[in-house]
Amino acid sequence: MNNFDVFPKKSLLFAPMEGITDEPYRIALMKTFPEWDQFFTDFLRVPTVGKITEKMIIEHYGERILKREEWRKKNSFQILTTERAQTKAVVEILESLKMDHLDLNLGCPSKKVNSHHGGAYLLSNHTALKFVLKTIRENFTGHFTVKMRIGYRDDVNFSDSLKLIQDEGVEAITLHARTRDQLYKGVADWSYIKRAVEEVKIPLIGNGDIWIAEDIEKIFKETKCHSVMFGRSAMKTPWLAKIYKEYVNEGGHIDDTYWLYQRKHHLEIYFEALLAEYREVGWQDNLILKRFKSFSRNLYDDYDDFETIRGSFLRSESLAEYLDRLYALKG
């Protein structure tokens, strides 16, 4: 495709997150907080050996999403692959399914992934990276984007990586403003996002330490990025896109008490939507409880006694107990 029209300007994108953004999660969020402009599957790890099937691809993306055009438009398929993996076979299936958008993971910092020469590692090996990019672009006519970091060990290849990615037909880049070795430490350096905006001719999507509505406004102003992607901040505040759009409508001002008010109001809505979707796909209560606990890390940070509150949720011995604590929290 010659023109990038997947995301409107200033889109708010819910990042791909391993073990989180599966089909029921994405459907729950689309129904409950439709202010998000785009969602991504967690990455599909492309295997080196074994049979690739259409069924495997559809299950990862979500059959219900595949069947509804309005949902398809808001969902992108992400893969994590290597030079030796069966990239072409996967991409050919995505092409046959007429998938609108494919995203390549060039940012995963996992030691295991990088030791197998995938994720952020590819930023340090441009020969392998070029092979992967070319394989995808030559076999996929839908929109093709990448999500990357500023480098692997350091930023020495930063500009060259941007140029290579652009030259191989990628239509937009999401940049997490840390190296792989930085993991999530320190503060993301948005100056790299600004620099990338100036160096490439394709849309640049900013990512990293964008926690509140004011941060969104700030990154747009400071970097001139096309759109913004949210990972950990979206997990902390799954209704962040809603808050930002209200913030814009209110002329750039939200009262300090608004955040806690929103949290009290939306936590129950969030978990009830997830509960409905997990039960729709047949999950048992113990599995749902385990998933709910995994979501509890930062959800309660706006409360004065957030550590005590979070601890009480993590100690819940049943899904019913977890939900009782949730309803009591609303006051």
Q: Are 93 and 140 in contact (CB under 8 A)?
A: no
Q: Is 186 exposed, middle or buried (0-12, 13-18, 19+ CB in 10 A)?
A: exposed
H helix or E strand, kind and range, residue 179 = strand 172-179
- Rounded distance, CA 260 to CA 179, Å? 33
Assess contact for 82 and 128: CB atoms under 8 A. Answer: yes
Q: For residue 206, give the nearest of 231, 235, 174, 179 by alpha carbon.
A: 174
Class of residue 185 by CB neighbours under 10 A (exposed 0-12, middle 13-18, buried 19+):
exposed
225 is catalytic: no
Contact by Cβ (8 Å): 302, 309: no
Identify the residue whose tokens are 């979206």.
234
Strand partners for 66: none
Decide if 190 contacts 217 (C-beta within 8 A). Answer: no
Which entry of 15, 91, 102, 108 is annotated as an active-site residue? 108
3-state secondary structure of 101: strand
CA distance 296 to 146: 29
d(CA 274, CA 238): 12
83, 128 Cβ separation under 8 angstroms: yes
Q: Are 174 and 148 in contact (CB under 8 A)?
A: yes
HSE (CB half, 13 Å, CA atoms) of 312?
Answer: 13
Give me the residues paired with residue 255 across strands.
none
So which residues are the catalytic ones?
108
